Structure 1
Amino acid sequence: MPTPSASSSRVMIVAFQGWSDAGDATTEVLQHLGGMLDAEVLHVIGAEGYVDFQVHRPKIMFDESGKRVLEWPDTRLFGPVQRPGRASESAGFARIAEPTSPESGTSGDEAAGRPEGTPAPAAATDSDTVRRIDGSPVTDLFLLAGVEPARDWQNFADEIVELVDVWAIDFVIILGSMFSDAPHTRPIVTTVTSENEARRAETGAVRSNYEGPAGISSVIDLALAEAGIETLSLWAQVPHYVHSTPSPKASLALLDKLEELLDIVIPRGELLVQANEWEANINRIAEADEDMSRYIRKLEESRDEELAAETTGDAIALEFEKFLKGGPRFARDLDFPAGSPDRAASPDPSPNANTGEDEDPPAPDQAREDPTA
């Protein structure tokens, strides 16, 4: 059976806080998309049994009636809901990282975190809505947000496979971001990989040859592939020397690639301003630190050399061959010279990947997690 194009598929975008979310780049992408889609909580995978609550603690807060309630670090699926007589209403999910629904497998007012019968907030304006190239709104995009579980990964992955089947998802994109020897002054490098040959031909993705430590994203990717569900893994490289702050520039790079992969238009909102401020702030810090400035110049020289190598005759021939085989959306940023510091590799060397604990950022020469999932 032919593979449906990404633009005509029911697509789920997945991201987890923790190991595979360097610079908060992936969770910011889901947060950004969540504020522009008319969607509700469709299902909740409870944190109990999966999440270490000493690492990701529940939060106590007041609900709309003034009652104190606990909000658990559950994994939530967000998607569109159509109700008779309420087609014009929206239950937007701008708080995607912290939805308030305590129930699993629910939808509607309660799943959206509102008392039953409470009117939904107004829909986003046209200029703040994710749309297709022809201007029509996107109504078949789903988001799965959560924290990386600390234990029982296989059962967790099985729940996600079942979720994809129940909601008839055609295609899954797994987001990741990793700390890398990448200069903040150059465009953020993204990599796209897939185990599915048809998807590789359509998108210009490559098949990963990585072997080494893996995170929950890899476990989910393999579980979905085994179940016959097509996936793409999209990763961004984040400068490791600015690990203590969010990286809006990396989030923008992921959104750029999502637009290309899905043939949709995603408004950038304030992310462009935030990315410019982020880069300007790092420049100011570097100007006052000669060692940091020298190190950044070395990274810039290395990156520029790689870009120059891509313009050689062999590189151009390879790119043209990829274009002929994979169509116009081939990825120029997937082939790195052997030994390159930015060659796709593992984003985190933590030996405690299965604990769910946040680790200090890796040194530039340390192994990093599988960027294929």
Structure 2
Amino acid sequence: MLCAFEGWNDAGQAVTNVIHHLVSRYDGREVRHIRCDGYYDYQAVRPMACSVTGRRKILWPQTTFYEITVAPGVRIFAQIAPEPNYRWQEYCRQSLRIAEEFDVDHIVTMGAMFADCPHTRPLPLDQSDRGCQCDMDREYNGPVGIPTVLDDMACSQGWDTTSLWVSVPQYLGGDECAQATLQILDRLSVLLGVDLDVGDLPDRANQWKAQASVLTRCNDELSSYVRNLEREYDLAKVAHDVADLGAPQAEQLVRETEEYLSNMGDGPRR
């Protein structure tokens, strides 16, 4: 079951758009809901007024579960909702009861966060896989969202879990980030062993990159900031690659990278 929540955990609408994309590209149907009662602050998550068949109606925030067939014999479930404001533990228990009802054996929580990363490189995508004998990630101390709580509760109750988090450049603001959605979808293809239909996401991702590049070219300060992020990204990648090499190859790789980064830093500036 794939789980995505709007709000704090969904920078650039990256993860909820994964669910929207799958529902639009495959044979999917709504199979369950969790009603909003007791879970939401309506001043934070407003009900929406709309017209349905000529009649005015109030739509309240709720959780929707979809059943989606992505390939012959391959069926997944997807949970999408605004992040609840209250009673998280009860909400997660209710979510897992629904997962149990549908014989789900693996919970995949997804999140997106704003971070210092350049749009000119692949966006950082972190994956954490845990079995039923698990502990919280000891490398992070700080606030968490409901994907982390749901992942932890699922793991403690015996589910295998995977947590996917993608980073979105914070300097681009809150616009939709198709590149992040595409990268998560590609990773899900690996997890499911199915080549998921990406539709027009590659074109939209290229458009996102092009618009970001135009923005940075028009702002000297932002352009310099992005170049620094690129250097940090490339150095981190080298450090990762060096760990997998022997000493002579590692030294050669470091020299080549230092020369490349030095030349990049001396490039023309506006």
- State the TM-score, normalized to the length of structure 2: 0.85
Report Cα offsets for 1:184-226 as digits up to 9, x if no partner. Answer: 000111111133179x9xxxxx973223222111211121122
**2:244 alignment partner in structure 1:** 315
Which amino acid in 2 is paired with 1:51?
Answer: Y
Which runs of no fewer than 5 residues in structure 1 stay unpaired? 1-11, 81-128, 132-136, 201-205, 318-373
Shift of 1:275: 0.8
User: Mapping of 1:302-341 within 5 angstroms?
Assistant: 302-312=232-242, 314-316=243-245
2:82 is aligned, of 113, 137, 147, to 147
CA distance in structure 1 between the partners assigned to 2:82 and 2:3 by the alignment = 11
Task: Pick one of 46, 51, 61 that aligns with 1:73.
Answer: 61
Matched, 1:176 2:106: no
Is the partner of 2:15 in helix, strand or coil?
A: helix
Name the amino acid aligned to 1:149: P
Could you say which residue in structure 2 is the equivalent of 1:105? Answer: none
RMSD: 2.0
Structure 1's 194 and 149: CA in aligned 2 closer, same or farther, altered over 3 A?
Answer: same
CA contact under 8 A between 1:191 and 1:235: conserved in structure 2?
yes
Distance 1:72 1:197 in 2: 35
What SS does the aligned partner of 2:104 have?
coil
- In structure 1, distance between residues paired with 2:241 and 2:104: 39
Contact 1:193–1:207 (Cα < 8 Å) also in 2: no
Match of 2:30 in 1: 41
Alignment match, 2:251: none
What SS does the corresponding residue of 2:58 show, helix, strand or coil? Answer: strand
TM-score (norm: length of structure 1): 0.62
Q: Aligned residues: percent identity?
A: 32
Q: Report the equivalent of 2:197.
A: 267
Q: Name the aligned partner's letter for residue 33 of structure 1.
A: L
CA distance in structure 1 between the partners assigned to 2:245 and 2:162 by the alignment? 25
Spell out the pairing of 1:7-46 with structure 2 (5 A cutoff): 12-46=1-35
**Deviation string, structure 1 residues 315-368 (Cα, Å, up to 9, x no partner):** 347xxxxxxxxxxxxxxxxxxxxxxxxxxxxxxxxxxxxxxxxxxxxxxxxxxx
Shift of 1:36: 1.8
- In structure 2, stretches of 5+ residues that fail to align are 247-270
CA distance in 1, matches of 2:155, 2:70: 28
Q: What does residue 219 of structure 1 align with?
A: 149
Change (3 A) 1:138 1:208: farther
Residue 84 of structure 1 corresponds to which residue in structure 2? Answer: none
- Matches of 1:237 and 1:73 in 2, distance apart? 26
* Distance across 2 between alignment mates of 1:175 and 1:219: 12
Query: 2:96 corresponds to which residue?
Result: 161
Describe the SS at the equivalent of 1:140. Answer: strand
1:105-154 deviations in Å (ceiling 9; x for gaps): xxxxxxxxxxxxxxxxxxxxxxxx843xxxxx354111100000011111
Q: Secondary structure at the residue paired with 1:56?
A: coil
* Superposed counterparts of 1:292-307, under 5 Å: 292-307=222-237
Alignment partner, residue 41 of structure 2? 52
**How far apart, in 1, do the equivalents of 2:150 and 2:87 lie?**
12
Contact 1:255 1:266 in 2 (8 A): yes
Residue 20 of structure 1 deviates from its aligned partner by: 0.7
C-alpha separation in 2, matches of 1:216 and 1:207: 14
The one-letter code of the counterpart of 2:45 is H
1:52-92 CA distances to partner (integer Å, 9 max, x unpaired)? 1112211222223x332221110011115xxxxxxxxxxxx
Confirm or deny: 8 A CA contact 1:40 1:78 kept in the other structure: yes
CA separation in 2, counterparts of 1:236 and 1:244? 14
Q: Indicate the SS of the match to 2:27.
A: coil
Following the alignment from structure 1 to structure 2, what is the Cα–Cα distance between the partners of residues 259 and 197?
A: 23
Determine which structure has the larger strand proportion and give its number.
2
SS in 2 for 1:265: coil
2:211 counterpart of 1:281: yes
